[in-house]
Structure 1
Amino acid sequence: MKDTTTIVHPDRRGRAERTPFGYLTAEHPTLDRVQNMISAVSAVIAGVSIVAMVLITLADVVARSLFESPLGWSVSFIEMYLLTAAAFFGIVTAYRSGAHIAVVSLFNRTPPRGQKLLMIFAYLVVLVGLCALGWAGLMATVFAVEISEGPVPGSSELPIPGWLMWSIVPVSTGLGVILVVIDLARELFSPWDRTATDYDPGDFGAEEDGRVVLGAESGAGR
């Protein structure tokens, strides 16, 4: 029987459960739960933002069409807050759950030690990118606080301080940094003859002699 909720390492070493927000392994369950919790919180924030965008847009259409009184704040609120939250917190969940796009043609043709180095390099690139975004967002947040950035008094915009929008970036990227640092630490402090955080989607046949046999249609994960 196929187990579509299970993933394995490419060399058939060990098993792990794929959860809605990440992975759960027997090697490091505590760290997995921490990462999955961060991913779940980010998913909730992104999901609520998307639902809110739909509801506000619908309300604006109804108010405009039936009452000829559109919501003057809807467009800017969606663009500045909801879209930003959905995008940046969604990135965190996408990273942890493996929902991003990965091209593994070169990776799969590389020896195990080379794969290990590629994984470490990839984590470092992601880490640098997140830190740069987070720092820029933090500086923008501080600047918005210093100048008391906000909507012009008397305008149709909601009276929300500008720093709240900018703070979405450092908060979300900070959560992403935690996820990447944990994955990077796993690779650095695990045996160097194989990767520790690379998983394949589960498509299993049967268990022979206590060993999981990988199905023929198994694809590549992260």
Structure 2
Amino acid sequence: MSETSEAARPPSALPGIFGLIDGAIARIEAFFLAAGVLLMALNVVANVVGRFAFGRSIQSAEEINRILIILITFAGLSYAARQGRHIRMSAFYDRLPQRGRKIMMIFISLVTAAIMFALSRYALQYMLTQQGRGRVLPSLQIPVWLMLIWVPVGFFMAGLQYALTALRNLTAPGVHLSTSLAEAQLPDPALNRGEPAP
């Protein structure tokens, strides 16, 4: 296998079935984020060309962008968790020794996973409520609930990612901010203290 295809394939440091789940989530995230951004760019460019070259805008451009923004936002939620990119309040965390940081990271990951799963449940209920109302988008004439399907899916995938981060911290030495980012990889010297793994 070539170096390029190896780099394109999302690695997973988790063992067995959990590694397969983690890899599958990474592929789904990458596909939807890339497709969403490309489609949004194409939609905007086509709308601008239509407006200035032909004097007519694409009637459904705004609705398409709204759908794609929801897709990118909630697919990106899980992606940001995988990359350890969510904002963290770490003043207290940074002062702990490695063992304390590891315990804290497991706790934070499990609590965040539980919150994400709860939000996924509430988002699903909201989506089903919208389905029951039968509302459609004015221009595209597609049901509004189809546009919202990414909200519970995104929360659920983020919850899975945080649960897998907790598992990574439970099964591997060192402190891991996500399944693919160890604390030791950070350039911040306050976090990368060179302490031995617990």
| TM-score bin (small chain) | 0.7 to 0.9
Q: Which residue of structure 1 lines up, in the alignment, with residue 176 of structure 2?
A: 197
TM-score by length of 1: 0.69
Contact kept in structure 1, 2:94 and 2:191, CA below 8 Å: no
Matched with 1:7 is none
Q: Percent same amino acid at aligned positions?
A: 23
The CA RMSD over aligned residues, in Å, is: 3.1
Q: Distance in 2 between matches of 1:20 and 1:102?
A: 28
Distance 1:24 1:122, change over 3 A: same
Return closer, same or farther for 1:197/1:134 CA change in 2, 3 Å cut-off: same
Identify which of 98, 106, 116 aligns with 1:120: 106
Partner amino acid for 1:93?
A: Y
Question: 1:53 maps to what in 2?
Answer: 40
**Count of residue correspondences:** 182
Question: What is the match of residue 70 of structure 1?
Answer: 57
Report SS of the residue matched to 1:110: coil
Q: 1:157-196 alignment to 2 at 5 Å?
A: 157-187=139-169, 190=171, 195=174
Q: Which has the larger radius of gyration?
A: 1
**How far off its partner does 1:69 sit?**
1.2
User: Higher helix fraction: Structure 1 or Structure 2?
Assistant: 2
Specify whether residues 22 and 98 from structure 1 end up closer, same or farther in structure 2 by C-alpha distance, changes over 3 A only: farther
> How many angstroms apart in 1 are the aligned matches of 2:8 and 2:86?
14
Alignment of structure 1 residues 109-148 onto 2, 5 Å = 109-148=95-134
Q: Structure 2 length normalisation: TM-score?
A: 0.76
Indicate how the Cα distance of structure 1 residues 40 and 100 shifts in structure 2: closer, same or farther if over 3 A, else same: farther
For structure 1, the 5+ residue unaligned runs are: 1-18, 204-215
Instruction: Quote the offset at 1:181 in angstroms.
Output: 1.9
CA apart distance, 1:68: 1.3
Report if the CA contact (8 A) 1:42-1:92 is conserved: yes
| Structure 1 residue 89: Cα displacement | 0.4
**Structure 1 residues 173 and 21: CA distance shift in structure 2, 3 A:** farther
What per-residue deviation string (whole Å, max 9, x for no partner) do you get for residues 97-118 of structure 1? 2344446554343123321331
Question: In the TM superposition, what is the alpha-carbon distance from 1:36 to its structure 2 partner?
Answer: 2.7
Does the CA-based 8 Å contact 1:201-1:219 persist in structure 2? no
Higher strand share: 1
